[in-house]
Chains A and B, each alone.
Chain A
Amino acid sequence: MKTIIKNGRVIDPAQNIDAILDVVISAGCIESIAAQVQPAADDQVIDATGLLITPGLVDIHVHLRDPGYEYKEDIVSGTRAAAAGGFTSVACMPNTNPSNDNKAITRYMIQKAELEGYANVFPICSITKGQQGDSLVEMGDLKLAGCVGFSDDGLNVEDGAMLRHAMEYAQGFDMPIIAHSEDESIKDGGVMNEGPLSTELGLTGNPWVSEAASVARDIMLAELTGARLHICHISSKRTVELVREAKQRGVRVTCEVTPHHFTLTEEAVRGYEVNAKVGPPLRTAADVAAMKEGLRDGTIDAIATDHAPHHIDDKNMEFVYAAFGMIGLETALPLSLRLVDEGVLSLNEVIACLSCKPANVLRIPRGTLIAGAVADIALINLEHTWEVTRQSIRSRSFNTPFEQQSMKGKAVMTLRAGRVVHKEI
């Protein structure tokens, strides 16, 4: 028995396919993509008329909070949210409790996702033990366990020699270093973008240079060591320029941007809105424009959510004390599709930034519908409008500045290895 998804607009940027076609799934893998496939009597047929058929989306930056902070999110609820957002693969950050710096936790994450989850989980392990910044994790062993990269996300590796040696060592195993680049000493306790608004609100500002200076260092260390460097959630205009220039010089650097950093400015913080408190901070209109330009010219490789669920008890308080972060898995697709309406990217480019391109950054064998690939697929209704409410969001947490906003575009069905894991048609 096969599954045939019929009459959808197949967009697979990895193969340059954009046409009304049928997708044939057999034994959990893509068997073929062809026109007018005639189903056999026992084949299951999914009618995708009017829908996009895309590779299951790939998010290389999420926090699943499991183990340790299951009251915020766990691997089941987080991957449920992923599937609802069209994502079939997520790379999860290691700032769990205990942190993911060892094979046991890496295997736990992968296996829990396989047994109980709705999406594939590709763990990112910490660079240093316990994310303490002073000694390397067992990178070789972790690679064998299924780890796809190393990051102390949430924290900068302040010690330059530590980061240099981490890059050298990771490079020996052909593994990327994923940098949360913010110089803590320049950040100096900043809780929002530094500028007239932080002055008005009386909040400590975090200037763009905390990010750009750290990115400059990290790029040069990558240049020195030859390591693969991926820079997380870039937020400032100057950072885009640094990455653009580094790529032109042939440095092996990639970067990602979150939907909130290309959608919102610091104005979202006005009124001390804790759900707009995020690290790095939302910045200015010029920075948002630079993010879009970076996506347009390919400087920015991927859209990643930095899905950071927090319980209301960690958010509902005075702004300076509230936790950093917002959820993003379920709003990423409609926010990214706005880039098409704005003429920043084509539809194919948006899908690429959410599938094959992020998969390539971490060399995750996903993000395409090529024959033989695992049948991770999203069916997307571009016209479906919906409202962001507690009821419409599957994540265990609801820390989003997009509450009550209207979204256009939705994954109405998500398949993981040929099996339907999300359906709302």
Chain B
Amino acid sequence: MAFAHKHFISTKVLSREDIDLILTTAQSFKEINQRDIKKVPTLRGKSIINLFYENSTRTRTSFELAGKRMSADTINITSASSSVTKGETLEDTAKNIEAMDADIIVMRHPASGAPDYLAKRLSRCAVINAGDGAHEHPSQAMLDLMTIKEHKGTLEGLTVAIIGDIARSRVARSDLYALRTMGATVRLAGPATMLPPGLDKLGAEVYTDINAAIKDADVIIMLRIQLEREGGSKLLPTKREYAQFFALNPGNLKLAKPDAIIMHPGPLNRGVEISSYVADGKQSVILEQVENGVAVRMALLYLLAGGNDA
């Protein structure tokens, strides 16, 4: 079965079949990562460029490992500065990469819409969005869904609570669309300063009381509070108060279903949005998310780099 998209930029455009295909493919690749020799020749001769305009350890490493385990040639380009300050436009940078006959550009960029912009201008290269501004982080959504499905067997009918800075979370948006497409109920919760308008129109239930959001949930996804970003102090009084009202801890976790799983896209602010007792507790699947991340990215690279022909 062929993947229906040339690029992978948003989960909003994915159908149930698209998501099933990604998850099934990822599941089949997961076994490779558990071998002693973690390498298959599937993408031999393919060139993958990780173009990162924002700091990232987890996502970049995950994509790089995914490419290498599929025998693709992977190159990392990291730039602390965006195209505006760098002096070369994003289009020029990307077209130069394309001129070197790269097959896939995996891009993280602080500007919402940057991968969409590239996809409209490149003719041969596929574009994978590794996170763009506050827009989307679709590969994170796929690894989240894979992890949930492994534990719950299905996504249909589940209640998933996503808690934190929804306004600036690309993970929340990508998770929301993908989970809704797969038949889950999505609750978004956080302080009112971090809940942007129109979330209900995008298919979410919206809460400012996280206990209400947690109640009877099957899955709880905690988001990193990014207090280091500019403007943070206008949105929140203190980390202390955030921890008091919006953190997941052993107390409020009891409101969820007894078999609820706890997720977090990382990196964790221990003691702020999540208590260490919860993050390291038996309901936490945070490291499984990271493990599945490599498999999901192997699947995405495979599906976009010619897996269609195989």
Contact = CB atoms under 8 A, between A and B. Distances in A.
A318 B197 contact: no
Interface stretch (A190-198, A224-232, A354-362): A190-198
Interface string A86-97: 000000000000
A316 B121 CA distance: 11
Contacts of B135: 201-203
A99 to B, nearest CB: 23
A272 B136 CA distance: 14
Interface stretch (B61-69, B83-91, B179-187): B83-91
A111 interface: no
A272 B113 contact: yes
B112 A203 contact: yes
Contact of B111 (A199, A271, A321): A321
A320 interface: yes
Interface residues of A, number: 20
A109 to B, nearest CB: 31
A317 B90 contact: yes
A399 to B, nearest CB: 16
Contacts of A205: 196-197
Given A202-B173, A205-B197, A317 B113 contact: no
B82 interface: yes
A160 to B, nearest CB: 21
Contacts of B134: 202-203
Contacts of B90: 317-318
A319 B202 contact: no
A202 B132 contact: yes
Interface residues of B, number: 29
B91 A202 contact: no
A342 B116 CA distance: 35
A202 B201 contact: no
A159 interface: no
B197 A199 contact: yes
B117 interface: yes
Contacts of B12: 200
Contacts of A201: 112-113, 135
B45 interface: no
Contacts of B202: 196, 199-200
B7 interface: no
Given A316-B91, A318-B90, A320-B112, A197 B198 contact: yes
Given A195-B197, A321-B84, A202 B114 contact: no
B197 A320 contact: no
Contact of A202 (B82, B83, B170, B199): B170
A83 to B, nearest CB: 34
A199 B114 CA distance: 16
A199 B133 CA distance: 12
Contacts of A197: 198
A143 to B, nearest CB: 40
Interface of B: 12, 82-84, 89-91, 109, 111-114, 116-117, 132-136, 167, 170, 173, 196-199, 201-202, 231
Interface of A: 188, 194-203, 205, 271-272, 316-321
